A and B are shown apart, each in its own frame.
Chain A
Amino acid sequence: DVKVTQSSRYLVKRTGEKVFLECVQDMDHENMFWYRQDPGLGLRLIYFSYDVKMKEKGDIPEGYSVSREKKERFSLILESASTNQTSMYLCASKEGGTYQETQYFGPGTRLLVL
């Protein structure tokens, strides 16, 4: 079975803290993605990676960075957390580079920044 796991289901952080969200997939997929989900806005792409050490900005990259040192792991970093980054964060992976392919999602991390 396809599996995408995220390091935490819930996180509470203080404004200004550095926050790491980890995602691991066991499907040997080339592509990995980070989205944030907010009510009424659907999912918005923050960053994606199409290969180890390769990354591309999505629609809302400001305030975030990413790291992909190994194929199976994709990390999202909030350099200095702010209250407007309180959200649900979803990681996804996809095998290849065509747009017909399915993205597989992790369970999500609900982040609260105080």
Chain B
Amino acid sequence: GDSVTQMEGPVTLSEEAFLTINCTYTATGYPSLFWYVQYPGEGLQLLLKATKADDKGSNKGFEATYRKETTSFHLEKGSVQVSDSAVYFCALGDSSYKLIFGSGTRLLVRP
């Protein structure tokens, strides 16, 4: 079945460092891809999404490009802030109702 694999955390960075969180997927069709973020004590909120190959999603300085050839949707940010500390989930939508989530990657940004 379809699945999502993302890098294990925690990822610890200093403020203003470059961030990459890797996400790869397995799917039989043409899924949509999402990044959700969970701040401490809160539910998940959509960070960005891409619905077809070569689309780039972007929001709040974060970017991810849907790469069909490498089945990847890596999350990047050029300069992280302390306020970006959270858990990031990569997810795949492959049917009318279901989202398949990766295990989550915790990001810690130090001042």
A: residues with CB less than 8 A from B are 4, 31, 33, 40-45, 48, 50, 56, 58, 90, 92, 94, 97-108
Contact = CB atoms under 8 A, between A and B. Distances in A.
Nearest to B102: A42
Contacts of A44: 101
Given A99-B32, A102-B49, A108 B43 contact: yes
18 contacts: A41-B103, A42-B102, A43-B44, A43-B99, A44-B101, A48-B97, A48-B98, A58-B98, A99-B32, A99-B95, A99-B98, A100-B32, A101-B93, A104-B46, A105-B43, A106-B43, A107-B41, A108-B42
Contacts of A97: 96-97
A109 to B, nearest CB: 10
Interface of B: 4, 31-32, 34, 36, 41-46, 49, 51, 89, 93-99, 101-104
Contacts of B36: 105
Nearest to A40: B103
A43 B101 contact: yes
A100 B103 contact: no
A90 B43 contact: yes
B101 A100 contact: no
Contacts of A4: 43
A43 B93 CA distance: 13
Given A42-B103, A100-B51, A102-B49, A31 B44 contact: no
Contacts of A41: 103
B108 to A, nearest CB: 16
Contacts of B45: 104-105
Given A41-B103, A42-B104, A43-B89, A99 B43 contact: no
